[in-house]
Structure 1
Amino acid sequence: IARQLDLAPHRVLQDEAMVDIAINRPKTSEELAKIIGRRTRLESPPFQKWLQALKDSLSAPESNWPALRIASTSIPPTKVWRQKNAPGYARLMHARSKLLEISMAQKIPIENLFPPEALKQICWAKPPIKTADLPAYVKELAMRHKVRDWQLKLCEGEICFALTQTEPPATPPPAPVYEPNEGD
């Protein structure tokens, strides 16, 4: 339903309401409506459909239940990169340093200049060995992370340079601070 309406799931039915439903296990759509109350943004909530989904999930065999913990495919926090992926840490520190220079020159906050998550993904993975392959590599990962064309054009060269680095910069980049000019 949320996908069809292009809404976040908690906008369709609040998390608190879902927990109450799981605890109280209503048997009728009237009981379900009473539990949900005003905790949905839908004008006419599909109580019958939700009740059927509840019944189906309660009768499903345990083998069909979702995993309690999903294996993480995310990268670790940057504070542990130096220990877990020293080359990735070096690449990230160089990239941040270079992007900070661009950020200050362009008067664009660094997080708007290039999405931090995309930069981390690009720097974490082992890049191609051939320097000539770096632009295509950066572009592919950037597009996968929905980096805009203008962001890529501004930053691609500096990121490619950073990917060739194996040691962190002598002085780590300062924490990015953007101070807009008056009128910005």
Structure 2
Amino acid sequence: MAESQSNQTIALHRVVDTREAYLAATAALAAGNGPVGVDAERASGFTYSQRAYLIQIYRRGAGTFLFDPPPIGDFSELNEALADTEWILHAASQDLACLREVGLDPARIFDTELAARLLGIPRVGLGTVVEELLGIHLAKEHSAANWSTRPLPESWLVYAALDVELLPDLRDRMVGLLVESDKTDIADQEFAATLAKEAKAARVDPWRRLSGLHSLRGQRNLAVARELWLARDEFARDVDVSPGRLVPDASLLAAARVLPETRQALSDLREFNGRSSRNELDRWWAAIQRGRVTTELPPLKASNDTLPPPRAWADRNPEADVRYKAARAALQTVSDELAIPLENLLTPDFLRRVAWTPPEPLDAASVGEVLTQLGARRWQVDVTAQFIADAFVAVPQVADPVSDLES
């Protein structure tokens, strides 16, 4: 009996990796009923790309299908077949980009992670939410696996299938809870905003993400670090391997700090280690040479519109610091009353920006206009703008030492 069950499991979770099987699966899913549970597995930390290496889809009346994206290529037929269907995802923002890369772009979603946040569930991982709302223990032992592995182990496929097979039941349970808590409209706005959110623009000077870069003091050192990072990034893209698995950040920084004058000196550098440090030595030495001679020296600090961290506001902008703390305290009260986390009630950066440079005249309408321009949803503006404006207006009376003395 055990052997029969095992064989049945293998058949149930067979990977769809041909166009013929893909088209058959598309027809089956189109004939199913209700929303579809969707998930994607990447190989973050192992590969350079963020492409999907497995896409799981479940629909009642159709079953579970595990798709291997690279051999299938284009999923436009499946996308068309499910165009009018609600897609259920957990933390949709993490998967939408890799789904869209292969032609899967939902028109409507239900995000179970977002719904969990709006319902005030303290821990919003899929396993925790499933256990709390459905009473089912969902093991997550393969979440950080290298999904570019082929063939995929059977235990991984079982894990991947369970991730989507429970999503419709979870969604139905959450719909009821959202209705009970009068948060259906809020959830709809959040789901729509997730779908409409534009991809982040390419970061200026991405090499400044090097861990520990602040330890480099000179512009020449920074120039060498930049060239090493660019060389590693190009190589990592070509071989589709995560950059840090080729040469660690610490190794690049060590070379940029020492500025070796010869190829041998670089080879002798004890800290310059990693899988590709030695057999790609010519690549790294060429990058160091470019950094040593370039006349385009980077500034010591990147120029951007990022606000200083709130802990520095008391010295940098004390009035903004008082405004921010007062408004944050007011919104925390609202957060507690609605059982919605503060960061979901209003994006923290939005509050910081309006506190740093408040609008004139200062009232709920002007605050709401700024929040809307920053990207806040209608429900967020409705719930927070008045409290923020009131907190800002009250600040001078609270912070005025003369008034305090007179009282």
**Structure 1 residue 50: deviation in Å?**
3.1
Counterpart contact for 2:371–2:381, Cα < 8 Å? yes
In 2, the alpha carbon distance for the partners of 1:109 and 1:169 equals 28
* TM-aligned CA distance change 1:68 to 1:49, over 3 Å: same
- Which structure's CA Rg is the greater one? 2
* TM-aligned CA distance change 1:82 to 1:11, over 3 Å: same
In 2, the alpha carbon distance for the partners of 1:75 and 1:121 equals 10
Q: Which residue of 2 aligns with 1:180?
A: none
Q: Which residue of 2 aligns with 1:155?
A: 380
Counterpart contact for 1:135–1:160, Cα < 8 Å? yes
Q: Which residue of 2 aligns with 1:182?
A: none
The CA RMSD measured in Å over matched residues stands at 4.3
Q: 1:99 aligns with which of 331, 335, 343?
A: 331
Q: Which residue of 2 aligns with 1:138?
A: 371
Cα offsets for 1:118-139 (capped at 9, x unmatched) = 3212211131427444323112
Q: Work out whether 1:111 is the aligned partner of 2:337.
A: no
Counterpart contact for 2:362–2:393, Cα < 8 Å? no
Counterpart contact for 2:251–2:271, Cα < 8 Å? yes
Q: Which residue of 2 aligns with 1:21?
A: 255
Counterpart contact for 2:250–2:271, Cα < 8 Å? no
* TM-aligned CA distance change 1:45 to 1:16, over 3 Å: same
- Partner SS, residue 373 of structure 2: helix
* TM-score, with structure 2 as normaliser: 0.31
In 2, the alpha carbon distance for the partners of 1:134 and 1:157 equals 11
Q: Which residue of 1 aligns with 2:393?
A: 166
In 2, the alpha carbon distance for the partners of 1:35 and 1:80 equals 38
Higher relative contact order (CA 8 A, sep 6+): 1
Q: Which residue of 2 aligns with 1:129?
A: 361
**Structure 1 residue 70: deviation in Å?**
4.4
- The one-letter amino acid of 1:122's match is V
Cα offsets for 1:30-83 (capped at 9, x unmatched) = 928985322x6x79986544332211111123xx21122446752353564498
In 1, the alpha carbon distance for the partners of 2:321 and 2:271 equals 49
**Structure 1 residue 163: deviation in Å?**
3.2
Gaps of 5+ in 1: 144-148, 173-184
* TM-score, with structure 1 as normaliser: 0.58
Gaps of 5+ in 2: 1-231, 400-407
- The one-letter amino acid of 1:18's match is L
**Structure 1 residue 104: deviation in Å?**
1.0
Q: Work out whether 1:77 is the aligned partner of 2:310.
A: yes
- Partner SS, residue 100 of structure 1: helix
Q: In terms of mean alpha carbon deviation, does 71-80 or 11-20 score higher?
A: 71-80
Provide the aligned length of Structure 1 versus Structure 2. Answer: 158
Counterpart contact for 1:2–1:9, Cα < 8 Å? yes
In 2, the alpha carbon distance for the partners of 1:18 and 1:83 equals 34
**Identity level (%):** 18
Q: Work out whether 1:66 is the aligned partner of 2:66.
A: no
In 2, the alpha carbon distance for the partners of 1:7 and 1:163 equals 49
Relative to its length, the structure with more strand (as a share) is: 2
- The one-letter amino acid of 1:50's match is W
Counterpart contact for 1:21–1:32, Cα < 8 Å? no
Q: Which residue of 1 aligns with 2:28?
A: none
